[in-house]
Structure 1
Amino acid sequence: MTHLPAADIRIDEALVSELLRSGAPALAHHAPVASGEGFDAVMYRVGPEHAVRLPRRAHAADLIEIEQRWLPVLSEGIATQTPVALLAGKACAEFPRPWSIVPWIEGETVASMPVAERSGLAVGLARFVGDFQRAAPASAPANAYRGVPLQNRDHDVRGYLQTAGISQSDELLEIWEQALRAPVWNGPALWLHGDLHPGNLIARDGVLTGVIDFGDLTAGDPATDIATAWLTLNREDRDLFFEAIEPSYDLDEPLLERAQGWALLMSVAILSAAPDNPDLVGIARHTIAQLVAEERGLF
């Protein structure tokens, strides 16, 4: 059984049906079907075209509001589907937190696809990253864990490497320290998804069709999202990704070293926080193998 942090509020089919009756009566005749649960939110499919997204922990209420506020703006001009709120549900007596009705994005999570079958995703993923990473205003949501200088996460990473039981910890520490030596990002703060791993990517017929879970949305160092090249793809498909991406900045050696640092950070954090989640552990193990196999000084 895969364990998640305990929810601090009751969410079930009866609650979702009640919210639909009061907030979206046109959908109330559909029986909600549980379709996914993560660390922070739970999803119920409602009919063929919609889903309800609800925060299962108190701190995630702010994440839902961030998605409601910013995704409609940021999704303009993006070819890839995103879960833009069609209805921004407000806290109410039945459920004292914000919640959203979003489009249902057909497909499978990329985490469920064999890595060797992901070559068709590389170009679409590159285009999403390049299109999404636009200059952000000062009012962009802050996130102490994404988009920041890697030095801010040094204590966390060293702790993960000591406690997560990773056999390649010495090699990973060398990669991490190389990323720390790279100059910090000194360009404009760019919009970031913040958690662009295969579990948050949706594919259909081998092509990227959707990106979900924007709860870590923030602005900062674009290397944070470039890390998806190691989190999601193998070496050959990374080449396709980097050939296709057209960012507003130079993909120089320091940025790519920092991107490897972000990929490492996310993978060891997964192994520390979710060691019994097979999909997430698979992402982490893949990423570590890619990083260790990469030739140092490649860039």
Structure 2
Amino acid sequence: MTEELIRALLRDQHPDLAAFPLRHAATGWDNQLWRLGGDLAVRLPYATERASDLLVKEHRWLPSLASRLPLPVPTPVRLGVPSERFPKHWTVVSWVPGTPADRAPVTCADAAVALGAFLTALHREAPADALTNSDRGLPLATFTPALPTAPLRAIWADALAAPAWSGPPVWLHGDLHPANVVTTDGTLSGVLDFGELCGGDPATDLAAAWVLLPDASRLFTAYATDDATIRRARGWAVLSASRLVSIGEAGPPGGKPTWAVAGRAALARLQA
């Protein structure tokens, strides 16, 4: 991606934004992010075939959810459509300030209160036409992770044995790991990348208690739930942290070393 390409796309489809200052901000798993002016960003599919569809999904659902969420999120404000210049959908979203938590981890205890409030607001019953996800919000028995230690295998077995979610599917972020939240002064200041947004078991998101926070127990003071859901959440945390380690250790061009560090830290917390 180049600044010239993005300016041309803006001139073609959103000319009122085309003169704003523009600079590259980050390259994620699916998209590139370019800062646009003071309070906007452009997200463009970059590395995966699915990225365009995920941006369309965010544009469809996230604006209606964002108004009730107590932390800033990158709310889509414009949609770019495929063209001769660029054959995929792209979006303009609100800019969320902060540093990704894989580079500036959560250190403040009050982050658990912020995350609990965020998840309480998000985890409402999803509408009948909400999207499902083949990799999130499902029964844990769907997955067969290779776990290297006896404590992790015990946590996984206990999560599998926990009663299944019996309530309706609730809205899930689906991908609450350190690269998808930002921090300021050690506490949560925003939540990014809703590409995995779907309906399902809230335990999927509650894995963030171990994946994001230095003390998992504090989240469950701020977020009321039952013991079975906490047990399933521990299983989801094992799965999420293991994926972070695997991706982080993959090596270039796909590897993200800071993800491996975050994943190993989460696995250590789970086994403590």
Q: TM-score, normalised by structure 1?
A: 0.85
Give the CA deviation at 1:271.
1.9
Matches of 1:79 and 1:270 in 2, distance apart? Answer: 26
Report Cα offsets for 1:61-117 as digits up to 9, x if no partner.
1111110000011112212111111111111111111111011111112222245x2
Q: Could you say which residue in structure 1 is the equivalent of 2:252?
A: none
Alignment equivalent of 2:118, drawn from 128, 131, 134: 128
Higher RCO (C-alpha under 8 Å, 6+ residues apart):
1
> 61-70 vs 102-111, which deviates more?
102-111
Secondary structure in 1 matching 2:143: helix
Q: How many residues are treated as equivalent by the alignment?
A: 266
Report Cα offsets for 1:19-41 as digits up to 9, x if no partner.
11112222222342111112211
Matches of 2:230 and 2:122 in 1, distance apart? Answer: 18
Secondary structure in 2 matching 1:257: helix
Q: TM-score, normalised by structure 2?
A: 0.93
Alignment equivalent of 1:53, drawn from 43, 63, 74: 43
Which residues of 2 match residues 1-299 of structure 1 at below 5 A?
Answer: 11-56=1-46, 57-115=48-106, 117-154=107-144, 157-158=145-146, 161=147, 168-235=148-215, 238-246=216-224, 251-275=225-249, 276-293=255-272
Matches of 2:128 and 2:261 in 1, distance apart? Answer: 36
Secondary structure in 2 matching 1:94: coil
**Residue 292 to residue 207, structure 1, CA distance change in 2 (3 Å):** closer
Report Cα offsets for 1:121-160 as digits up to 9, x if no partner.
1111110011000100121111110000000112xx13xx
Amino acid paired to 1:153: F
Structure 2 residues without counterparts, runs of 5 or longer: 250-254
Partners of 1:120 and 1:206 within 8 A in 2: no
Matches of 2:105 and 2:91 in 1, distance apart? Answer: 31
Amino acid paired to 2:35: R
Matches of 1:145 and 1:103 in 2, distance apart? Answer: 27
Matches of 1:137 and 1:199 in 2, distance apart? Answer: 28
State the superposition RMSD in angstroms. 1.5
Secondary structure in 1 matching 2:82: coil
Q: Could you say which residue in structure 2 is the equivalent of 1:165?
A: none
Secondary structure in 2 matching 1:119: coil
Partners of 1:91 and 1:97 within 8 A in 2: yes
Percent identical: 39
Matches of 1:32 and 1:191 in 2, distance apart? Answer: 33
Secondary structure in 2 matching 1:112: coil
Report Cα offsets for 1:165-205 as digits up to 9, x if no partner.
xxx53321121111111111111000000001121112223
Structure 1 residues without counterparts, runs of 5 or longer: 1-10, 162-167, 294-299
Report Cα offsets for 1:233-283 as digits up to 9, x if no partner.
122xx333222225xxxx222111110100100111122233142221121
